[in-house]
Structure 1
Amino acid sequence: MSKKIAVAILNWNGKNWLEKFLPSVIRYSPEADIYVIDNFSTDGSAAFLQSRFPEVKIIRNDKNYGFAGGYNEGLKKINNEFYCLLNSDVEVTENWITPVLDLFEGNPAIAAVQPKILSFNRKNYFEFAGAAGGLMDNLGYPYCRGRIFDDVEEDKGQYDDETEIFWASGCSLFIRSDDFWEQNGFDARFFAHQEEIDLCWRLINTGKKIFYTGKSTVYHVGGGTLNKQSAQKTYLNIRNNFSMMLKNLPFPKLIVLILFRLCLDSIAGIYFGLKLGFPHFLAVLRAHFSFYAQAPGTWKLRQKHQKSHFYQTKWLVFKHFL
């Protein structure tokens, strides 16, 4: 008989991460079924799991669908009431699931919850991918409580609260399975990066809420699949951010914002090129043209109602860099 919650770890050639971090998941998740969704690994991950962790259920995808598509395919085979989408390079802690379930059960409008995400390598600092819950400024730039662009805060208990946020990190994303599938899961075209922000925005457009709890803590290594300095990551983040805005912002605000952002990100391309190298400049150009190519299909995915994202900070990019 299935338990109320399933912890689903998407794996692609991450045998070393599984060996290091899966024991903490097994030890501290007695109330959960534990799955590894293998995204067509070639490093012997599945055989390793069968021999080393026989209590873990394995779902094998027939190819590498990326983060978004990989979860969409694998979760079709999991029937629990709640999912926890957990990166393979995450160490969990004792009692990390209970506060999340308490939030879900206390408020049916809550569709997704994120725990506190700290850095595995600097455990008293927040981690880049999620920190203490995701927000977005008025120009559509995502940031987090505890992390603005590349600057992260030390954890001094300032985010030990439970509060509504705009997006929950895919690093450790708890979500009701019904809400996930009512939105048809992630947008598989994103492949990776910002697909969880898009999903949370779509949920908010339907009246659902996204929450953070500081009563649950996990530690994330980060950069296990794509390093922060990867040009491919620059490409995916920019392309997917534009697609997300086109899909979710109300008209006509989206036209003004996207035109302004296209100009601003062109300047950012020069900045990235000077700071990180010419491949990042090319990544910005590729992202823009890929966004244009996807735009007709993206427009068809717009919901009946759109809401402007709520934000706590305006003009974040100007305040931070200028």
Structure 2
Amino acid sequence: MQLSVIILNYNVRYFLEQCVLSVQSALENIDGEIIVVDNNSQDDSCEMMKRRFPNVKLLQNNENLGFPKGNNLGVAHAQGEYICILNPDTVVAEDSFVKVLAFAKKQPDLGIVGCKLIDGAGNFLPESKRGIPTPFVAFTKITGLYQLFPKSKIFGKYYAQHLNENQTGKVAILVGAFMFMKRNLYLDVGGFDEDCFMYSDDIDLSYMMLQKGKSNYYFHETTVIHYKGESTIKDETYMERFQKAMLFFYKKHFKVSKLFAVFMKIGIVFFSFAKMFQGKAIIKMIPKSYLLYSANQKLADKLSLVLQKKVSFHDLKTEKMVISSSLRSGDGTEIILDNEFVSFKESIAILESSRKKSRCVGITFKIIPKNANFLIGSNNSNGRGEVIKIE
């Protein structure tokens, strides 16, 4: 078997359904498998998986084992030569794994491959590629120096700014939302360190690959949506775990003085509070109008009843798959993409292209997954996403 995709789920039933649907499409031309590990979700994630995806391997835990242990469990059941650690709040394109697999096979010193990540609004996520968060590099992140001097080789290491988002190349650290590697190498380094509950586990695994003499790569030729904020609510528990995670990484890999340790703790507290309030300061915007891209006129009528607002219809039987030229900056229109007629790859391309066009500022997006009774999406990378049932 070529590839095993490991998806660790915790209480994100609708995002999981869309994710698995996209992965199934992406594995059509690959000898692969999907393994979903559920960390004792209290929603109906497992019931949905059994009903909609009976052929997907589902591992149900009786408690929340955390990110490292949950993923290690999934990998232990994997049969693929390669594995992909994938967040449930992601959407992959139909050709994502074909492209990444072809790239990976060409690298003689392969560690981990990451890809280009965007949020639900089409914005590039800078954590797609990062440098080693040494104490100094972490300092540039905490103080915001990397933003003040974005082209500086000294201050731009945290987000590996020696590469732009459209350049493939070697980087030190990749994000756990999408990590592609050989299964044997993952097992050789011991997988994710289970002493870390979450948050620095991807940094640690990436760093261990470097210590093995391997190279990690940022691969820009495929884009994946990462909605973010779905598996984690940025509350006081989040802040505490984030602090512990960063301290875990420093204690494991770096020798620092007691004075510097105190300084870092102060910085981590500040950074944690910033992230916590960043996630809470989102004001929900209600769309002024809706535009459905589909070939199903009845769906537009049904959505008008559910949303209690007229839904304009862009008929894909007669019209091209382009964002309407009538949309303007600040328009407040929400575009709904029907996955029955718009592929995940096309949806991702639309989100990306919208952010490159100033006239599309203020436009938001939702997707209706194929054969699903809900539309789903997120308007930013800090707050939680939105699910609207259309039964």
Asked whether the two chains share a fold, i.e. TM above 0.5, the reply is yes
2:271 and 2:211 map into 1 onto residues whose CA distance is 34
1:102 and 1:275 map into 2 onto residues whose CA distance is 36
1:203 is matched with: 209
> Which of the two has greater helix per residue?
1
CA contact (8 A) 1:28 1:96 kept: yes
Q: Percentage identity across aligned positions?
A: 24
Q: Which has the larger radius of gyration?
A: 2
1:88 is matched with: 88
1:91 and 1:275 map into 2 onto residues whose CA distance is 24
Tell me the alpha carbon deviations over residues 239-284 of structure 1, each in whole angstroms, 9 at most, x when there is no partner.
22222122223xxxx224x64142243255368669968xxxxxxx
Please tell me whether residue 218 in structure 1 is matched to residue 224 in structure 2. yes
CA contact (8 A) 1:99 1:213 kept: no
Matches within 5 A, 1:5-44: 5-30=3-28, 31=30, 32-44=32-44
CA 1:207–1:93: 2 relative to 1, 3 Å: same
* Aligned match for 1:134, one of 127, 130, 135: 130
1:246 is matched with: 251
TM-score norm. by structure 1 comes to: 0.72
Range that drifts further, 268-277 or 103-112: 268-277
TM-score norm. by structure 2 comes to: 0.60
Please tell me whether residue 231 in structure 1 is matched to residue 216 in structure 2. no
2:272 and 2:75 map into 1 onto residues whose CA distance is 36
CA 1:81–1:271: 2 relative to 1, 3 Å: closer
2:274 and 2:79 map into 1 onto residues whose CA distance is 48
Structure 2 gap segments, 5+ residues each? 151-158, 278-391
Please tell me whether residue 60 in structure 1 is matched to residue 56 in structure 2. no
| Deviation for aligned residue 1:82 | 0.9
Q: Secondary structure at the match of 1:188?
A: coil
Aligned length: 256
CA contact (8 A) 2:12 2:88 kept: yes
1:261 and 1:27 map into 2 onto residues whose CA distance is 47
Please tell me whether residue 76 in structure 1 is matched to residue 82 in structure 2. no
CA contact (8 A) 1:183 1:203 kept: yes
Q: Secondary structure at the match of 1:37?
A: strand
| Deviation for aligned residue 1:66 | 0.9
1:60 and 1:103 map into 2 onto residues whose CA distance is 33
Structure 1 gap segments, 5+ residues each? 278-322
Q: Secondary structure at the match of 2:169?
A: strand
1:276 and 1:41 map into 2 onto residues whose CA distance is 23
1:303 is matched with: none
2:112 is matched with: 112
CA contact (8 A) 1:165 1:211 kept: yes
2:193 is matched with: 187
Q: Secondary structure at the match of 1:135?
A: coil
1:274 and 1:55 map into 2 onto residues whose CA distance is 42
* Aligned match for 1:175, one of 181, 200, 211: 181
RMSD, aligned CA:
2.7
CA contact (8 A) 1:61 1:74 kept: no
CA contact (8 A) 2:124 2:165 kept: no
1:164 is matched with: 170
Q: Which amino acid aligns with 2:256?
A: I
Q: Which amino acid aligns with 2:193?
A: D
CA contact (8 A) 2:242 2:272 kept: no
Give runs of ≥4 in structure 1 deviating > 3 Å: 267-277
CA 1:267–1:135: 2 relative to 1, 3 Å: closer
CA contact (8 A) 1:190 1:236 kept: no
